Structures are given as structure tokens and as C-alpha cells.
Amino acid sequence: MNNIRLRELLKLYLDNSASDLEQSEFWDYVNDPFYDAEFKDLVGQAFDQQIKGEALSESEQRNFLDSIYAKEKPVTGRFIKLWLRMTGIAAAIALMVLGIYFFNYKNDKHAQNDVFAAQDRNPGFFGATLTLANGKKIKLSDAANGEIAKEGGISVTKTADGQLIYEIKETIGNPNQINTLSTAKGETYILTLPDESKVWLNAASSLTYSTSLNDHGMRRVKLEGEAYFEIFKDKAHPFIVQTANQEVEVLGTHFNVNSYIDEPGIATTLLEGSVKVKAGSSLKIIKPGEQVINKSGIMEVRKVDLDDVVDWKNGDFYLNHIDFKTAMRKIARWYDMEIIYDENVPDNMESGGWISRDKPLSTVLKSIEASGLVNFQVEGQKIYVRK
């Protein structure tokens, strides 16, 4: 459970500053049956240690819940006084208890808006396809854990936590076999290369590389889609990420490259270290917190919110102050959906809020709808968006 996030959301409620999206996100946690056992185990501890018999009456609890759903401040100050006597997670647990106590109450409220349940889709998962040099394809979600291939003295091992690890065991035969790791929509995977560099591959992406990672003294990979890189430092062997219209050169650093063809440009974002971005005769060197946008060889450097860039790697949709249609493209790739916009949906809307990528599609869409920006209709693999 993300206790830190729950405390943040609870404080926003009590300060009367939670947005519609944040309110919806909080109740998604409360309503998730996955957390019920944990909440119930902590109920006694929370009340024994912090509340000391001053729990709200049943009518006051219902009054508080009604005020949240009506988006109003609670009419009684007694809950606020109780909050001031509690700290940290105990306060969060107390409100969780209210949620569990009125489980049927909440279910009735949410059922009125549960328009997506009949066609819901589960979130994506760790999965990918490995294509070996001989053309053999291995679907990693079906493969057993352990060594799954060996080429030119390079061992390829699949682990239980969604990772593929390359290790040089011996130098025999041709170590420069070309492999490709690819994800479909709704899949993600982590790759450890022979030099111990790590790559997180986002949905609908592919990475092509030699098994020894040695291309005439360079460490070179080819990317389609999006990936986050943590490169092992080796000054003698630069690491090159090649995309359709540019190359990123690093010696050892952390950065993200988004090269999806449906995005307006290739976005290279630096988290630490230094990178060179080359497109034709143009060259840009960026600092941590900066991003290069490459639009057909014309490159622009700008400051960015790093949470927005690497949210997918951290298992989240971070949607604060980003273009609404950009946010919907993220969602479409993760849930394998097609987005269809009504002509009245403007191009200049901004989204807001935060939600975990491990939630079902219905939860994500209802959270966005709560902002009042748009309405959704789901039919099969299509999401229709209306203003």
C-alpha cells in the first residue's frame, strides 16, 4: 500500500483542497478489496493507540462520508479535532476504517457511475518477446525462469520478477549475435545487458542489440518506442541509443527516450549525468532535468517535470499539467485501446492528478471523468471521448 500517498490524499480532504480526481483516487484505494485484510488487521491498533474512545458516532461517520461525496467540507468540526490528535498512518487508517464500515454505502454510491464495468480491462503486466539471432521467438510470459538461451558464450536468463539478464560466460563462436526484445501494448520488461547497464522497456516498444554489446568499440542499441536507461559508466566505450531520426551518446548516466511514432517528436530526457543528442548536423548537450524534443531534425531544449517523464517506469500515470491527449496515449498503450475523440474535444486541454498503473481501466477512466473535463464511452477496444 502506498501509505505516503494515502496520507497526502487524507490531508487534502481535511484541508478541503482535494480535487475531484484526488477524491476519486482516494476512494479507489478504500474500495479495493485487495487492501481489506490489511485495513481490518490495523483497525484495533489505530483506535486503541490513537483514538482513545473518541471515535465518531455512526451518524457523524455517515455525515462525513456524505460531505465527501457531495464535495463539501464536513459540517461538524469534531472530525477535524480528532484528526489533530492523530498522526501519520493512524489518521489514514482511521479514515480507511470509515470506508470499510460503510462498504455497502460506498458500493451503492459508486455503482451509480460504474459505466465501464461490463467492458473493463486489466492493467498491463511484465511480458515481452525475445527474438534470437536464428529467428527463434521466445514469449517470456510463457517461458520458465532460468537460462532460456545461450549464444556465442552469452547466457540469457529470465528471472521471476520480469527481468532478462545477459551474461558473458565464455568467449566462443560469434558473440555478436543480434537479439531483439519487444513488448506489445500492455507489456513492459527490464533488460540487463552484458556490461550491467539496465533498460526498462515500455509498452509497444522494441530494443535491438548485439549479445556482446560490442560494435567496433561502441555499445550500440536501436530503440523503437520508449525506454529508460541506466548505463554503466565506461569512458572507453560510449553507449549509443539509435532511433529513427537521431542518436543519443552517453558514457554512463540515467535518461529516458520516447520515440513513439504517434508523438509529435522524439523526447530525450536526462535525469543524471550528461548526454549528447545528435540529429543530422545538429547537436545538443543537456543537463539533468532537461529534455530535447527532436521534430524532424529541429531540436529544442526545455526544462521538464521528471515525474511526468518516468511515471511509467515507476508504475504510475502522473498526469499533472500535461496535455490531455498525451495522457490518453499513455493510457491507450498500457491497456491496448484505441482512443476516438468527438470533434468538440479541444486540443489544448490539460489533465491533472496521479493514479497507479496497476488499476483496471475503469478506475482510471472514472478518475479522469471526476475532473469534469470529459466523458468516456468504452466499446470493445475503443474509448470514445466526449466533452
pLDDT in tens, 358-375: 999 998 998 888 878 889
Task: Verify that 163 and 284 share a domain, yes or no.
Answer: yes
Cell of 125: 503486466
In this structure, the answer to whether residues 153 and 249 fall within a common structural domain is yes
| Dihedral sign of CA atoms 360, 362, 363, 369 in order | positive
For 153, the grid coordinates are 558464450
Domain span at 374: 315-386
Angle 3-14/20-31 helices, nearest 10 degrees? 130
Question: Do 335 and 226 reside in the same domain of the chain?
Answer: no
From 261, 291, 308, give the residue that closes a domain: 308
Q: Give the chain's residues under pLDDT 70.
A: 1-16, 20-21, 23-119, 171-175
The DSSP result for 314-382, as a single string, is TTEEE-TTSBHHHHHHHHHHHHT-EEEE-TTS-SS-B---EEETTS-HHHHHHHHHTTTS-EEEEETTE
Residue 119 located in a structural domain: no
> Residue 192 falls within a domain, yes or no?
yes
Beta carbons of 119 and 380 less than 8 angstroms apart: yes
Same domain, 260 and 343: no
pLDDT of 111 reads: 42
Nearest to 117 by CA among 366, 327, 337, 316: 366
pLDDT of residue 366: 87
| Total number of domains in the chain | 3
| pTM of this structure | 0.72
Which domain-ending residue is among 308, 330, 355?
Answer: 308
Same domain, 176 and 96: no
Is 117 within a domain?
A: no
pLDDT tens, residue by residue, 158-213: 998 889 999 988 766 566 789 999 999 999 999 999 999 999 999 999 999 998 88
Last residue of a domain, one of 308, 335, 350: 308
Q: Give domain status of residue 182, yes or no.
A: yes
Considering the domain architecture, whether residues 142 and 238 belong to the same structural domain is answered as yes
Same domain as 143, residue 85: no
Residue 209 is assigned to a structural domain of this protein: yes
For residues 251 and 238, what is the distance between their CA atoms, to the nearest angstrom? Answer: 5
Is residue 168 domain-shared with residue 252, that is, in the same domain? yes
Claim to verify: residue 319 and residue 301 sit in the same structural domain? no
Residue whose C-alpha is closest to residue 130's, from 157, 107, 153, 103: 157
Shared-domain flag, residues 180 and 224: yes
Same domain, 286 and 330: no
pLDDT 10s digits, 44-81 = 333 343 344 444 455 544 444 444 444 333 333 334 33
Co-location of 164 and 50 in the same domain: no
